[in-house]
């Protein structure tokens, strides 16, 4: 036993144990170890130059504590870390400073690693991955090749958001609606719509599976709903309208085919390819001006329900296929080319948006569903608001009288018989725009060749579905995939990281890298011409940052494999993560894209389970002390290093978990950490005061509280309820510190419970109590249910129903003994003295109430 120390010197203790864990590889995950496995995964960070702020470690603290808890329980735990390091911020820094992105990335990773280690996060660093490492993105490129070969990748010229200042395409989610118009989320620069050649992935082919797979996932309901809404499955019908006077048709999707007789006009998106064809000469100038203006609006702004309704008549009409009626075709920006067919049939009597538009422009409103008195109408009986409910069909020809549900099927059957429509399922989900006009990203393993040379190439280099072609410098070119032996295709050195003004990637200027010669049979490339080889040019776009984050959790399992993405036996041993912890801001895109890629990998036999993340948990946001989201502009960012210097990493970890439920949003309060620091100092005193520690059996009260704490903390850790676990450990510490003596074994058990959250303190005290090795290797305590049963019970004493004292009595006491104890209480005697006892009421095991007058 050591001499107790009054000083809890966290500044010396914490680096000591961080070095111990690293040197002894305490948390190294061993493949095929004969133990149950547990794989806990964090959403890996983007290593920015700013480093961590106090909000970042919250989820990491939870996963680190869970890892230590599970390892103590006897699990073989995999808890790795890596870096999502391709992307725009580093490239923008390169443009401004001329520093190669790889240099900046290396510096930022070193900074982040240092901070994570300071916080005591003992990751299995032997499995570290970095999306910018050629050994990693080789397999990102390989996955893209599988998508290409399966016909799930194609090239299209799409109207996309382009930011001239950043020189790149932005996703809709990266565009802000501002009073000045749409602007980039990063940098707040103006953005515009521009048609640019894009690689696109057919995620829509997996839409049905992606929505069906959600039902079996242990995810927050809100996240499931977000994904369901994003995918947007709806059943309905396709309806084809002829355009009067033109050899053209407009196809729409509707979930309400029962209202087709009430379609009184059509609306097409400003980008619809038929707009220029069907617009009449009289309307041309007005339509062109409207289309041009729509280019400056974001999809979110255009789809806003409350916005002012705008539109222009094209001068053209369409023919309603069920009644032959000619109806006007309008162009309006609330219809999006990225959703459905880019055209809608408008039924103003039964759709709120259509009703408002019709009223704004004086268009006909025809009611075709009987509202049975439920609709809002004026004195003349005309609708004053759309009726969107069900009912009997009216004004609907042969369908009149049918209920709206059965009429949906009947109208579709009627259209199908005339080859003017069909039943179908539609999805809001659009194919994934998968290219960026940037330097700092994964190069596509693609070479473009001319048509005659494409015919010479081996089929193994082509898309299995159909040829992928596009226009490059006015010539039709066809895509060939590089063979596996050519991977990884690395980025070339370039003179400038700035994209060209017309949106071309910096790679388009790397002439020494751009032009290659290809063996048409093997796909091998060379910068020099060879006999029988064909000439090609490399793809100059790069992949988006989403690419590397779609599959990183698999690479952790087998990070150094140069022959395969993942060893099948290791994949089966570890499986998919048992728990994925990360922010709700990734609820849709990252999780959806990763699920899509995982489904594809499942289809080609790389993984053994179709879903990557069976259990998902979103940690809440740590707000600034002002209750606002932390940001440099608000000046409310808290630096974790400042807290560590003042209180230690253990205090910071414990306080982050003590602030409230892990999933809740809560404000930071620096003053509040004082209480946690005092608790840790009390634990230190409890474990180092030799004069109080005994080797024998502990008191009944101590054991009862200890085993109640073991039970609760174990349950709370399993449920990620760290705040309530800490509260219980505080109660236990207070009980163990209350007497003159405490059993050393009780203190050791408390330290085991606390160690996952305060690992440095736990390890140091474990060593000072005479143990060798890590506390995590000493196992997890188990509660004894019999210790929770008390031999005594508290009986409340009342006089005339008011509390007058209490006493601990043997659990098997009799009624007479309880009443006698009450009467012998000095306080009770003060209230019954000189009075007549009328009644003695006993509630077994709880209350004695004496009625005295």
| Mean pLDDT, range 363-377, rounded to an integer | 94
479 with 387, same domain?
no
| Mean pLDDT, range 473-477, rounded to an integer | 92
Tell me, what's the pLDDT at 173? 65
DSSP code per residue over 128-195: -EETTSHHHHHHHHHHHHHHHHTT-EEEEEEEEEEETTTTEEE-GGGEEEETTEEEETTT--B-EEEE
For 672-719, write each residue's pLDDT tens digit: 899 999 999 999 999 999 999 999 899 989 999 999 999 999 999 999
49 with 118, same domain?
yes
Specify if 817 maps to a domain: yes
519 with 552, same domain?
no
Q: What domain range is 455 assigned to?
A: 443-538
- How confident is residue 300, by pLDDT bands cut at 50, 70 and 90? low
CA neighbor of 440 nearest in space, from 92, 109, 47: 92
Whether 799 has a pLDDT exceeding 60, the answer reads: yes
Specify if 228 maps to a domain: no
Specify if 643 maps to a domain: no
User: In the structure, how many helices (H) and strands (E) does the chain have?
Assistant: 27, 33
Specify if 517 maps to a domain: yes
Specify if 223 maps to a domain: no
751 with 795, same domain?
no
**Total number of domains in the chain:** 5
Are 461 and 146 in contact by the 8 Å Cβ rule? The answer is no
Annotated binding-site residue? 632 = yes
Are 29 and 78 in contact by the 8 Å Cβ rule? The answer is yes
Q: How far apart are CA 189 and CA 390, in angstroms?
A: 47
741 with 681, same domain?
yes
679 with 694, same domain?
yes
Q: How far apart are CA 247 and CA 245, in angstroms?
A: 7
Q: How far apart are CA 350 and CA 364, in angstroms?
A: 12
| Mean pLDDT, range 525-532, rounded to an integer | 95
DSSP code per residue over 644-692: HHHH-HHHHHHHHHHSS-TTS-EE--GGGHHHHHHHHHHHHHHHH-TTT
Are 393 and 258 in contact by the 8 Å Cβ rule? The answer is yes
Angle (CA) 718 721 727, round 5°: 120
Whether 495 has a pLDDT exceeding 80, the answer reads: yes
Q: Kindly report the pTM of this predicted structure.
A: 0.86
Tell me, what's the pLDDT at 305? 61
248 with 281, same domain?
yes
- Please name the residue that has the structure tokens 């290809």: 518
407 with 447, same domain?
no
- How confident is residue 1, by pLDDT bands cut at 50, 70 and 90? very low
For 632-663, write each residue's pLDDT tens digit: 778 888 888 999 999 999 999 999 999 999 99
Q: What is the dihedral of CA 753, 757, 760, 763, to 10 degrees?
A: 20
Size of the chain in residues: 853
**Alpha-carbon distances of 630 from 649, 666, 674, rounded to whole Å:** 20, 12, 21
For 2-59, write each residue's pLDDT tens digit: 344 467 999 999 999 999 999 999 999 999 999 999 999 999 999 988 888 777 899 9
309 with 411, same domain?
yes
For 248-273, write each residue's pLDDT tens digit: 999 999 999 999 999 999 999 999 99
- Which CATH number belongs to the domain containing residue 292 in this structure? 3.90.740.10
Ranking 296-310, 446-460, 633-647 by mean pLDDT, the lowest is 296-310
């Amino acid at each position: 036993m050591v001499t107790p120390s009054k000083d809890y010197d966290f500044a010396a203790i914490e680096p000591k144990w961080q070095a111990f864990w690293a040197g002894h590889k305490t948390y190294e995950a061993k493949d095929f170890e004969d133990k149950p496995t547990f794989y806990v995964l964090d959403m890996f960070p983007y290593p920015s130059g700013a480093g961590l702020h106090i909000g970042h470690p919250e989820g990491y603290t939870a996963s680190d504590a869970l890892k230590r808890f599970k390892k103590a329980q006897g699990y073989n735990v995999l808890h790795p870390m890596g870096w999502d390091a391709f992307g725009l911020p580093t490239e923008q820094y390169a443009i401004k400073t001329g520093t190669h992105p790889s240099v900046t990335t290396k510096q930022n990773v070193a900074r982040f690693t240092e901070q994570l280690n300071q916080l005591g996060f003992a990751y299995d660093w032997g499995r570290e991955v970095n999306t910018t490492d050629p050994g990693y993105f080789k397999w990102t490129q390989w996955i893209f090749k599988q998508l290409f070969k399966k016909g799930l990748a194609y090239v299209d010229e799409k109207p996309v958001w382009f930011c001239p200042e950043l020189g790149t395409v932005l996703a809709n989610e990266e565009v802000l609606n501002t009073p000045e118009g749409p602007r980039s989320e990063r940098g707040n620069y103006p953005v515009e719509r521009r048609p640019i050649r894009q690689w696109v992935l057919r995620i829509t082919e997996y839409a049905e599976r992606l929505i069906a797979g959600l039902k079996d996932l242990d995810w927050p309901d809100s996240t499931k709903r977000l994904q369901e809404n994003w995918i947007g499955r709806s059943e309905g019908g396709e309806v084809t309208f002829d355009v009067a006077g033109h050899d053209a048709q407009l196809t729409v999707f509707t979930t309400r085919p029962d209202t087709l007789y009430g379609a009184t006009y059509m609306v097409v998106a400003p980008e619809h390819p038929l707009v220029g064809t069907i617009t009449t000469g009289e309307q041309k100038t007005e339509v062109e001006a409207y289309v041009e203006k729509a280019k400056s609006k974001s999809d979110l702004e255009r789809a806003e329900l409350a916005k002012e309704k705008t539109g222009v008549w094209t001068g053209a009409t369409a023919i309603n296929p069920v009644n032959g009626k000619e109806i006007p075709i309008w162009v309006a920006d609330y219809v999006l080319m990225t959703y459905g067919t880019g055209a809608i049939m408008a039924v103003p009597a039964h759709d709120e948006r259509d009703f408002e538009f019709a009223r704004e422009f004086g268009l006909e409103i025809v009611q075709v569903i009987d509202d049975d008195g439920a609709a809002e109408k004026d004195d003349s009986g005309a609708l004053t608001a759309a009726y969107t409910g069900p009912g009997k069909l009216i004004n609907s020809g042969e369908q009149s009288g049918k209920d709206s549900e059965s009429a949906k099927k009947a109208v579709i059957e009627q259209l199908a018989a005339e080859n003017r429509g069909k039943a179908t399922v539609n999805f809001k989900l659009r194919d994934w725009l998968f290219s960026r006009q940037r330097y700092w990203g994964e190069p596509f393993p693609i070479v473009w060749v001319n048509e005659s040379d494409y015919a010479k190439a081996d089929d193994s280099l082509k898309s299995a579905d159909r040829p992928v072609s596009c226009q490059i410098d006015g010539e039709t070119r066809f895509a060939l995939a590089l063979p596996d032996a050519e991977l990884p295709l690395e980025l070339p050195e370039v003179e400038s990281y700035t994209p060209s003004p017309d949106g071309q990637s910096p790679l388009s200027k790397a002439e020494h890298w751009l032009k290659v010669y290809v063996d048409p049979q093997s796909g091998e490339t060379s910068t020099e011409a060879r006999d029988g080889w064909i000439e090609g040019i490399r793809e100059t776009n790069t992949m988006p940052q989403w690419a590397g984050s779609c599959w990183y959790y698999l690479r952790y399992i087998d990070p150094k494999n140069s022959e395969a993405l993942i060893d099948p036996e290791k994949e089966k041993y570890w499986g998919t993560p048992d728990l994925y912890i990360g922010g709700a801001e990734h609820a849709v895109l990252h999780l959806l894209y990763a699920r899509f890629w995982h489904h594809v990998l499942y289809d080609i036999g790389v993984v053994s389970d179709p879903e990557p993340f069976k259990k998902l948990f979103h940690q809440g946001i740590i707000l600034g002390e002002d209750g606002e989201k932390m940001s440099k502009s608000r000046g409310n960012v808290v630096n974790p290093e400042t807290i560590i210097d003042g209180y230690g990493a253990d205090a910071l970890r414990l306080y982050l978990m003590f602030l409230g439920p892990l999933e809740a949003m809560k404000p930071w309060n620096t003053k509040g950490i004082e209480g946690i620091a005092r608790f840790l100092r009390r634990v230190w005193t409890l474990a180092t005061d030799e004069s109080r520690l005994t080797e024998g059996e502990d008191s009944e009260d101590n054991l009862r509280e200890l085993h109640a704490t073991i039970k609760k903390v174990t349950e709370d850790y399993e449920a990620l309820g760290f705040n309530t676990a800490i509260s219980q450990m505080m109660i236990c510490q207070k009980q163990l510190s209350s007497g003159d003596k405490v059993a050393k074994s009780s203190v050791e058990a408390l330290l085991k419970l606390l160690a996952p959250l305060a690992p440095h303190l736990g390890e140091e005290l474990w060593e000072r109590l005479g143990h060798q090795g890590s506390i995590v290797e000493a196992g997890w305590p188990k509660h004894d249910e019999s210790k929770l049963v008390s031999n005594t019970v508290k009986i409340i004493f009342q006089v005339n129903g008011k509390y007058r004292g209490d006493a601990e009595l043997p659990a098997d006491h009799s009624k007479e003994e309880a009443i006698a104890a009450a009467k012998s209480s000095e306080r009770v005697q003060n209230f019954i003295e000189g009075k007549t006892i009328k009644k003695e009421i006993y509630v077994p095991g709880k209350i004695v109430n004496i009625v005295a007058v």
